[in-house]
């Protein structure tokens, strides 16, 4: 039991350290590009959202080549815990990607 608690605390410490480092890197990107928004939206053609035509939930990808590219760039800059799946979810949540299913009232 003690080993499990020790491992959990170590994992938590790693994540906290990564969150602090990611915040510092986020600020670096803001300085370099003017804003994080300018940085990340520059990956999109004409800085416009990508509108996908999805017929069902099973058509939704967990990642794309674009999320791979953005995630890779951020990893090269030192970001941790921002893989391609997390990146794609961020893109959906911020409106960079519209993956609403056909017929969805929000789409």
**Model confidence over 19-59: pLDDT tens digits?**
999 999 999 999 999 999 999 999 999 999 999 989 998 98
DSSP single-letter state for residue 45:
G
Return the bridge partners of 54, or none: 101
Give Cβ neighbours of residue 41 (< 8 Å, ≥ 6 apart): 47, 96
CB count in 10 Å sphere of residue 40: 20
pLDDT digits (tens, 9 = 90+) for 3-14: 787 777 788 899
More confident residue, 64 or 105: 64
Helices (H), the chain: 2-33, 36-41, 65-76, 84-93
């Amino acid at each position: 039991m003690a080993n499990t608690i020790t491992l959990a605390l170590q994992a938590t410490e790693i994540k906290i350290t990564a969150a602090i480092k990611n915040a510092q890197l986020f600020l670096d990107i803001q300085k370099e590009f003017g804003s994080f928004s300018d940085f990340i939206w520059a990956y999109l053609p004409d800085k416009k959202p990508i509108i996908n035509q999805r017929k069902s939930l099973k058509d939704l990808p967990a990642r794309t080549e674009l999320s791979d590219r953005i995630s890779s760039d951020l990893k090269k800059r030192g970001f941790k815990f921002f893989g391609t799946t997390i990146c794609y979810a961020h893109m959906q949540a911020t409106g960079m990607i519209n993956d609403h299913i056909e017929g969805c009232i929000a789409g």
